[in-house]
Structure 1
Amino acid sequence: MRFGVIGTNWITEEFIQAGLTVEGFSLQAVYSRTSERAKEFADKFAAPYVFTDIAEMVASGQIDAVYIASPNCFHAEQAILCMSMGLHVLCEKPLASNVREVEAMLAAAKKYDVLLMEAVKSTLVPNFFAISDHLPKLGKIRRFTASYCQYSSRYDAYRAGEVLRAFDPAYSNGALMDLGIYCLYPAIVLFGKPKQVKAEGILLASGVDGEGSILLKYDEMDAVLSFSKITTSYQPAEIQGEDATMVIDKINHLTRVEIRYRDGRVEDVTRPQASKTMQYEIREFIRLAAAGARESATNSHTASRLAMEVMDEARRQIGVVFPADLPQE
């Protein structure tokens, strides 16, 4: 599969490095706003084509699919343009700024009959399927807890008075969109749509959330999610059942999974997993496209829509409003 990439940041580098370990992956084109940056990035990874116009790249005939890693506020517009040209789209999380944009993207994927998948890597790694496969051992599930709190490398600049993209609502950013989704998306995939959403958070002066918490209420269980870009936490994630508790070391990496039973037994259910974990989402995406599928069974359109619905409601309760949320002219 011949890929073009939109975005020339560290996550795109990780994507390409992981892709080079996957059979069938080929980097063909790089888009950047400046030709210097596009050429520098393309030369680094031996990509033969560079573009400073997305429309030219998607119409070039040189690519089959696009990986989008631009700021969140651009995802929907760029993805829809790519899909309108018959290209498959692997789009970084979060899929868009809000559920209205997600719905437009899903409609475009259906209209143009292409594959669209949200690039949430953690739900496609071997240890996520270890979690799913061993859930019955826990008995009746009562609680899921997950925390992803990591002091942002850009927060020092913010504290000094410089608002970079990570803390600028114009780019549809903030702690929930950047980190909280790692806690939320597995909850949606494993447990489905919650009955109720309650959210609290710290709204920074720039207009984004610096940290927050979400409580998801289900019929017989709840999920407690914590996320932050202004503090750091080292808490593992847990799925608590009446018979046992599953302990997951890091909700964003899932490198160790064990079950702790009430009688004191500990069962390690960790599976072998490559360090470049983005390879699993790339492999899934290429497999789906080759099979003619139009969505992933795990990172499904339904999961992406539900996750964004919850994030929209959480942002409403916390008070985070993006320009992308305002009525479009």
Structure 2
Amino acid sequence: MVRFGVIGTNWITEKFIEGAHASGKMQLTGVYSREMDRAQEFAAKFSVDHSFDSLEEMAASDTIDAVYIASPNSLHAPQAKLFIENGKHVIGEKPLASNIHEIESLIALAQEKDVVLFEALKTTYNPNFKILQQALPKLGKLRKVHFTYCQHSSRYQKFLNGENPNTFNPKFSNGSLMDIGIYPLSTAIGLFGEPNSFTAQGVLLYSGVDAHGTLVLHYDDFDAVISHSKVSNGYAPSELQGEQASILIESISECETVSILRQGEPAVVLSQDQGENTMQYEAGVFADLIETKQTMHSGLDRTCIVSAIITRAREIIGVRFPADEVV
């Protein structure tokens, strides 16, 4: 059983804790918040005795083996570094870091300290992603890929009102590509690997982050077009078109429903019920990597490719973070 602490006391942290416990392989033993009262209040929900308002104390504590990081994006890398230096395994919310330089530095440190570093991007660990992978040969030669994830941010109106919410603030390494586009991009890389090349387009807000945009990944026989947005809602499914069949995917971030369609035939649903909280699957994989001492794993390869593309795509469209200045 992996004993873990959490950084962050928001809804995503609660969901991860529930998923981690559902995996049967992890147990919450520590909670961090900048305010001790908040840490203790959150810890009480899960009958946890150890609360911290000091990251250094938590990182040095022998009450945890690993940490789940769900702080603002810009804090992921420095917080991960602290815990890795203290010999703790790290599962960090996506994106794992602000840029590829931070990713490479964290991986090198994790190898040095012999701990598991893992990006909590649930899509590629869900059962329906594996079903999608296994169904690809049924398409024949792949010709077109359209992946879309567009989600109107609940904080966008605050931004329009002149406020400065974290989610649209470059100080916190945010924006549509980092927060939303990373899902379909990671799915594409998980299915097809690193592209030969790519192009990127984005529309910027006055704060300096991207509101929405498009990536086109260029492979030998097809392109994968990725649409993402934080300022509009999308309802269309994602699609893979082959010469013999096509696949539709509802909710690319979850691979919620995967269906195959052939000309003149009714659609056939391939996917299974994954349950309400799909974070249990990533938690289970993370725990297994710790148990088997696999500090180098395929998830890190995917994280590197995705981060390198996003880092370069941001350069192309003109999104720059304070974290980019420290290389």
Deviation at 1:205, TM superposition (A): 0.4
Matched, 1:197 2:198: yes
Tell me how far apart the structure 2 counterparts of residues 48 and 3 of structure 1 sit (CA, whole Å).
13
Deviation at 1:171, TM superposition (A): 0.3
Deviation at 1:265, TM superposition (A): 4.4
Tell me how far apart the structure 2 counterparts of residues 273 and 75 of structure 1 sit (CA, whole Å).
28
**Which residue pairs with 1:255 in the alignment?**
256
Deviation at 1:263, TM superposition (A): 4.0
Provide the alpha-carbon RMSD of the alignment. Answer: 1.1
Deviation at 1:267, TM superposition (A): 2.3
Deviation at 1:272, TM superposition (A): 2.9
Partner of 1:94, secondary structure, is coil
**Which residue pairs with 2:160 in the alignment?**
159
Matched, 1:211 2:212: yes
Deviation at 1:119, TM superposition (A): 0.5
Q: Which amino acid aligns with 2:281?
A: Y
Tell me how far apart the structure 2 counterparts of residues 220 and 48 of structure 1 sit (CA, whole Å).
56
Superimposed CA distance per residue, residues 198-233 of structure 1 (whole angstroms, 9 cap, x where no aligned partner): 111110001111111111111111110111111111
Partner of 1:21, secondary structure, is helix
**Which residue pairs with 2:225 in the alignment?**
224
Matches within 5 A, 1:16-165: 16-165=17-166
**Which residue pairs with 1:318 in the alignment?**
317
Partner of 1:50, secondary structure, is strand
- Give the number of aligned pairs: 326
Distance 1:15 1:327, change over 3 A: closer
**TM-score for both structures, normalised by structure 2:** 0.97
Q: Which amino acid aligns with 2:213?
A: G
**Which residue pairs with 2:279 in the alignment?**
278
Tell me how far apart the structure 1 counterparts of residues 18 and 25 of structure 2 sit (CA, whole Å).
14
Deviation at 1:264, TM superposition (A): 2.6
Partner of 2:253, secondary structure, is coil
Q: Percent identity?
A: 46
User: Which range is displaced more, 279-288 or 254-263?
Assistant: 254-263
Superimposed CA distance per residue, residues 287-325 of structure 1 (whole angstroms, 9 cap, x where no aligned partner): 12111211443xx21110000011011111111000111
Tell me how far apart the structure 1 counterparts of residues 24 and 146 of structure 2 sit (CA, whole Å).
36
**Residues 117 and 295 of structure 1 are in contact (CA less than 8 Å); yes or no, is this contact kept in structure 2?**
no
Tell me how far apart the structure 2 counterparts of residues 199 and 86 of structure 1 sit (CA, whole Å).
38
Superimposed CA distance per residue, residues 32-91 of structure 1 (whole angstroms, 9 cap, x where no aligned partner): 111121111111222211111111101111101111111111111111111111111111
Q: Which amino acid aligns with 1:310?
A: I
Matched, 1:13 2:20: no
Q: Which runs of 5+ in 2 are unaligned?
A: none
Matched, 1:309 2:312: no
Partner of 2:38, secondary structure, is helix
Tell me how far apart the structure 1 counterparts of residues 243 and 266 of structure 2 sit (CA, whole Å).
15
**Residues 197 and 313 of structure 1 are in contact (CA less than 8 Å); yes or no, is this contact kept in structure 2?**
no
Q: Which stretches of structure 1, 4 residues or more, deviate above 3 A after TM superposition?
A: none
Q: Which amino acid aligns with 1:326?
A: E
Partner of 2:110, secondary structure, is helix
Superimposed CA distance per residue, residues 269-302 of structure 1 (whole angstroms, 9 cap, x where no aligned partner): 11231111000001111112111211443xx211
**TM-score for both structures, normalised by structure 1:** 0.97
Tell me how far apart the structure 2 counterparts of residues 172 and 265 of structure 1 sit (CA, whole Å).
44
User: Which range is displaced more, 267-276 or 122-131?
Assistant: 267-276
Tell me how far apart the structure 1 counterparts of residues 71 and 40 of structure 2 sit (CA, whole Å).
17
Partner of 1:20, secondary structure, is helix
Matched, 1:245 2:246: yes
User: Which range is displaced more, 126-135 or 83-92?
Assistant: 83-92
Q: Which runs of 5+ in 1 are unaligned?
A: none
Tell me how far apart the structure 1 counterparts of residues 290 and 326 of structure 2 sit (CA, whole Å).
35
Deviation at 1:266, TM superposition (A): 2.5
Tell me how far apart the structure 2 counterparts of residues 77 and 62 of structure 1 sit (CA, whole Å).
21
Tell me how far apart the structure 1 counterparts of residues 222 and 8 of structure 2 sit (CA, whole Å).
39
